[in-house]
Amino acid sequence: MTAAQDIENFDAVQSDPADPVQTPRGVNVADETLAAAQTLTDAGIALDAPLGEIQYAERNGQKIPTPGGEGWVGMFSMIVTKLEPDPNLRRLRLTR
């Protein structure tokens, strides 16, 4: 999100004041100029991957999806993640 915060047309569905709960939403994956999209692609993460498949905690060998994000993007459930350097992991690591 840090790389994407100033990208024009980042959202697939733009903000609509008549629908503040459902908009904005989605990532405009058709815009291949997105540096953030390239970062995920380089890490082996599909642009349409559900967040729970890449942002999770492991406990007893099981993946537990972890919702949330950084507070500056307006997330109510604030967590801080970092992309793992090993692209074979294909996940976001929760920082402590």
pLDDT tens digits along 4-43: 666 777 788 888 999 988 988 887 777 655 667 777 787 7
Distance CA 52, CA 65 (A): 4
Given a cut of 60, whether residue 89 has pLDDT beyond it is no
Given a cut of 70, whether residue 84 has pLDDT beyond it is no
Going 43 to 89 to 81 to 68, the CA torsion angle's sign is positive
- What pTM, to 2 d.p., does this model score? 0.48
Given a cut of 80, whether residue 76 has pLDDT beyond it is no
Does a cis peptide bond (omega within 30 degrees of 0) precede residue 87?
no
Distance CA 78, CA 96 (A): 12
Helix locations, the chain, DSSP H: 35-42, 51-54
Q: How far is CA 59 from CA 53, 56, 65, in A?
A: 15, 10, 11
User: What is the domain partition of the chain in residue ranges?
Assistant: 1-42, 50-96
Given a cut of 80, whether residue 1 has pLDDT beyond it is no
Given a cut of 50, whether residue 96 has pLDDT beyond it is no
Note the pLDDT of residue 60. 92
